[in-house]
Amino acid sequence: MKFFVDTADTSEISELNALGLLDGVTTNPSLILKSGRDIMEVTKEICGIVDGPVSAEVAATEYEQMMREADVLSKIADNICIKVPLTFDGLKACKAITGDGRMVNVTLCFSANQALLAAKAGATFISPFIGRIDDTGDDGMELIAEIRTVYDNYDFATELLAASIRTVNHVKQSALIGADVATVPPAILKQLVKHPLTDKGLDAFLADWAKTGQKIA
């Protein structure tokens, strides 16, 4: 599974990238707002930190303006992936942008039917929102499983990108189902390494080592 980090915080991105954990980055208007920075400036900086895809989202809702914004965002760096909403105008833009050889992440996916349309439109990535579906009382992981089945049935090249991840269990379940990518908030990504038995075992090893009175270096 590939790991994208879902943030526009360049310090967090740099820290995780230095560990060799990142395959890409996803941003959205809410994350840009949270960063407090200019979208062009911060996105360019992010593209210079990571080698993989960096999703930058259009703010327009109509096709013609989406295409104009996509052209502007694409000029930031070669690893820009244009993010568009899952609407008819968004799908039309997706088809045109990928037809030019550029990457597209179709976002705000909440059904397998929507994911099917995105794949037909040539999406590079589809982003189903697990957490937001869970918030409605439904099971977000069921959607991940449905999309995986649909895509495998027809050998679609579109990568299944599990988004709106709220817990470490969302990551595990996405990996078990076979999502190609998980885009994860920095805090959740850091939690993946943690386990109480790891901490307990390390404490025991360190205590025993201290009793030996030895030093390795």
Q: Divide the 217 residues of the chain into consecutive groups of 10 and give the mean pLDDT of each group.
A: 98 96 96 96 98 98 98 98 98 98 98 98 98 97 98 98 98 98 97 97 97 96
Domain range holding 76? 2-212
Query: Is residue 60 domain-resident?
Result: yes
Q: How many structural domains comprise the chain?
A: 1
pLDDT digits (tens, 9 = 90+) for 108-161: 999 999 999 999 999 999 999 999 999 999 999 999 999 999 999 999 999 999
The label of the residue with tokens 């969302």 reads 170
Query: Is residue 12 domain-resident?
Result: yes
| Identity of residue 123 | A
Residue 158 is encoded by which pair of tokens?
Answer: 């579109």
DSSP 20-51: T--SEEE--HHHHHHHTS-HHHHHHHHHHH-S
Query: Is residue 217 domain-resident?
Result: no
The active-site residue, picked from 34, 44, 83, 172, is: 83
- d(CA 173, CA 162) in angstroms, rounded, equals 10
Per-residue confidence (pLDDT) for residue 51, from 0 to 100: 97
Query: Is residue 170 domain-resident?
Result: yes
Per-residue confidence (pLDDT) for residue 210, from 0 to 100: 97
Torsion on CA atoms 110, 101, 51, 70, rounded to nearest 10: -60
Decide if 77 contacts 64 (C-beta within 8 A): no
Annotated active-site residue 83? The verdict is: yes
User: Can you give the CATH number for the domain in which 145 is found?
Assistant: 3.20.20.70
- d(CA 194, CA 153) in angstroms, rounded, equals 36
What are the backbone angles phi and psi of residue 190, rounded to the nearest 5°? -70, -30
Per-residue confidence (pLDDT) for residue 159, from 0 to 100: 98
